Structure 1
Amino acid sequence: MTERGEDYRDAVLPGQVWMDRHFEDCSFVEADMRKLVTMGCTFDNCDFTRTDLGESRHSASAFRSCMFRRTTLTESEFVGSTMMGSTFVECRFRPWTLTECDFTLASLTEANLRKTVLAGLRFRETNLIRADLRDADLRGADLSGARLAEAVFDGADLRAAKLDATGLTHAKLAGAQVDLDTAVAFAAAHGLRVG
């Protein structure tokens, strides 16, 4: 059963456990959802503006095309979850634990993800323009088609990460750690002839 258009605005829901619940076009604006636990839940086109999701835990849950504006996500954990097509604006992230998550087509413009472990995550065609990814762990992350203009990667670990030529030319990669394949691709993307 799917809950459609429900208004949880200003709701006080801390510490609840939700399993296999489905929400569509619901508002959680300014709701207190600290320490919420979701397992196998789906949220489609829901609004989490100014919601407190601090210390929440989410397993195999989907947040598709949702709005996270000034949302508190500090000390939250997402495992095997998707944020496909969701938008994050001026959110509080760190520390944020993410494992096997998919951010395909999401927008994380100007997101502060410094020192965040993002290894192995999917950021295909994700908007990371002007994101702060300094000292982030992006080993094995898929950044194919990601918009990386002015994204800062100083000190980031990009070994085995997938980046296309556009990302390699638009991102600020000075100081990032890369593997040989990425170094060669970076050189080629900047017009150098290797060999």
Structure 2
Amino acid sequence: MWPWGHAAVGYLLCSLWIRSRYDRRPTAGIVLPLAVGTQFPDLVDKPLAWTFGVLPSGRAGAHSLLVAVPLLALLWWRVDGTTARRAWAGFAVGYLVHLATDGVYALLEGDVSGLTYLFWPALSLPSYAESPGILAHFLAADITPYLLAELLLFAAATLLWAVDGAPGLRAVGRWCKRRADGATTG
């Protein structure tokens, strides 16, 4: 799945869960870690595989539940307080959504063997079209029904995010302003 697909599914599930469970909209404290979590496995694995050759595939290390579960447990153990636990929940939901959505197409095609990345290195990795780099990966994209579906999901998630009050946008804006102010004064 493409980055926007992971982000879209993550936000849709998170917003719907928070609305149904707590009868409120998501906050920046959950949405920003969620956004990082939805991209985290690719941010780790793709450079380690495609750029540095450390991993055998762009869907290996951080894409494995054998890495994800202990990492999330360690983070849970290390965080303290309600705010940090909410941030952990956002990251964890995003991370696990990423792992699940990477397997959606294999499941739709009836190929359960396409899910073996979830248990790497205990199981062999599925055959996966590797790219020589991130830019090449994006440039090689084909317009497929799957890609169009992901773009529609992204549009729906963006609309819901706007209806939710664009949580996280102000926080990112403040952070950017602090960085810009620091760069001009320092």
TM-score interval (norm. to shorter)? under 0.3
Question: Larger relative contact order (C-alpha < 8 A, sep ≥ 6)?
Answer: 2
Question: TM-score, with normalisation over the residues of structure 1?
Answer: 0.19
Question: TM-score, with normalisation over the residues of structure 2?
Answer: 0.20
Greater per-residue strand proportion:
1
